Amino acid sequence: MIAWKNMDALASYQDLLKADRVNIAEAMFGEAGAERVKSYSVPMGEGMDFNYAARPVDETVLAKLAAFAKEAQLTEKYAALYNGEVINTGEKRMVLHHMTRGQQGEAVVADGVDKRSFYVEQQQKIAELARKVHSGELTNAAGETFTTVVQIGIGGSDLGPRAMYLALEGWAKVNGTHKMKAEFISNVDPDDASAVLGKIDVARSLFVLVSKSGTTLETLTNESFVKDALAKAGLDASKHMIAVTSETSPLAKSADYLAAFFMDDYIGGRYSSTSAVGGAVLSLAFGPEVFAQFLEGAAEQDTLAKNEDLLKNPSMLDALIGVYERNVLGYPATAVLPYSQALSRFPAHLQQLDMESNGKSVNRFGEPVDYVTGPIIFGEPGTNGQHSFYQLLHQGTDITPLQFVGFRHNQMDNDVLIQGTTSQQKLCANVAAQIVAFACGKEDENRNKYFAGGRPSSIIIGDKLTPKALGALLAHFENKVMFQGFAWNVNSFDQEGVQLGKVLATRVLKGETDGALKVYSDLLGI
């Protein structure tokens, strides 16, 4: 029997509060530090390891975290999720994004349909369309092949798929699987759509409209923008557009689209990259075989997340160390720092994933909680970030835990030797140096040059960023967020916080304003 309790009601949490603090600078110093780096590591599969040597834990803290995981029933709650229990209490829905990449437990039937079969069917339909496009069976009116795919969506319909496309674009070009260039239109700002339309050949472009409800204001506005451009080019928009939506939306059976692929209410936007939301654009861009590899990597990570042993479950371990840093040590933010240019938009995706999921101040039952929950998430790829915000990370008054990601080999197998080392070696040298610099600091009589150290970090180290590795990386962070939500006893799968602004914006557009809302509307020329 699962008991959904607030964190501060657990004896193991109270015990965790009493744990002696770990001095990271001392723990990471000298030979002891070297041994710690070797031993504080968990295999993630796909040539990757989660190394947490520079996080503020030791054997005692880890034992207390394991006790917390057991009392909080994290493994049981994960099983309840993938077995189809109603985990999204706010919207009274199941949470099934794991099922888009594999069957983790029992068969789940909803709306009279086996959900795993439903998701596989959508993937197969997308694969068939992609093959027709790539083979030239499906062309534009002039018989020309489509060369560009443009995703129109916002939030989870944009951030995840965009990040995944950019992560694999270089790899696909080197490996001969880059079938179509992908572009993305998300912002209702007309400059966004104009910029994309200005650099593509609309006659040879397929547009993927993504809206679960079929009523998303920004997305439908951008669709109209695109349809206008197609009409001005003398093109039939219905021959250039496909929809990804729910079966009950007004887009589902519309003659305005070449095809429609379906998602459902059991997959939130920020968890939808492995559904048709990511599947359509990624399969068109890289081929369905590459998308299948991506799913395989995610599925293997989901299986790893079932392990009851905390020290063999990297997602749960990462999550609970994060809870310890947030709730016991009081750190307000986490920086995601991938040392891979291909992951340039990955921090933005994780920002939505984490902050929209666990940015909650009430528990699963709508009751206020008396402890802090989700941290602020931000980040940029290294080494660019080093020349931007690392100053504050090293010497600022707040301590910010850091999550590095690094790979031994670059994606595109293209490098140069300069001053005895390659660019990739220079990149990897920087991330290694930053971990130790943050942890150990530097003594100096000149306080301006003094580094206190004690700044915690972890790193996911991989061989190369491949489709399977990317899937594993994505699932690791999705599962980390899930485990943290369980620990804080919040509902990680609704997002009421995005609704109020939408409601007020609709009032503004209808002219139904007064008070400050009217003045701001007037100032903006609405």
Tokens of 50: 């989660």
The amino acid occupying position 244 is: V
- Catalytic annotation on 356? yes
Structural contact between residues 185 and 128, judged by C-beta atoms closer than 8 angstroms: no
3-state SS assignment for residue 188: coil
Contact 184, 199 (CB under 8 A): no
Question: Angle at the Cα of 245 (from 506 to 285), degrees rounded to 5?
Answer: 115
DSSP string of 36-94, one letter each residue: HHHHSEEEEETTEEEE-TTSS--HHHHHHHHHHHHHTTHHHHHHHHHTT---BTTTTB-
Spatial separation of the C-alpha atoms in residues 291 and 471, rounded to whole Å: 9
Cα angle at 343 between 190 and 465, to 5 degrees?
140
Question: Catalytic one among 218, 223, 356, 380?
Answer: 356
Q: Count CB atoms within 10 A of the CB of residue 47.
A: 17
Please tell me the number of Cα atoms within 13 Å of 68 on its side-chain side: 30
Residue indicated by tokens 């309840």: 80
Given the residues 253, 312, 449, 502, the one annotated as active site: 502
CA 366: distance to chain centroid?
A: 26
Which member of 38, 173, 199, 387 is catalytic? 387
Show contacts of 330-333: CB within 8 Å, 24+ apart.
Answer: 330/372, 331/375, 331/398, 331/399, 331/400, 331/401, 331/456, 332/372, 332/375, 332/376, 332/398, 332/400, 333/375, 333/376, 333/377, 333/378, 333/398, 333/400, 333/401
Both tokens of 300, joined, read 């293997």
Sort strands 421-422 and 417-418 into parallel, antiparallel or unpaired: antiparallel
First-to-final CA distance of the chain:
55
Report which secondary-structure segment, H or E, holds 335: strand 333-339
Q: Please answer whether residues 75 and 306 qualify as being in contact, where contact means their C-beta atoms are separated by less than 8 angstroms.
A: yes
Token pair 């039937």: residue = 109
**Residue where the block lists tokens 């941290």:** 375
Residue pair 430/485 in contact (Cβ under 8 Å)? The answer is no
Partnered with residue 149 across adjacent β-strands are 182, 206
The string of DSSP codes covering 456-476 is: -EEEEEES---HHHHHHHHHH
| Calpha distance 427→342 (Å, rounded) | 13
74, two tokens: 């994290």
Residues annotated as catalytic (active site), given as ranges: 356, 387, 502
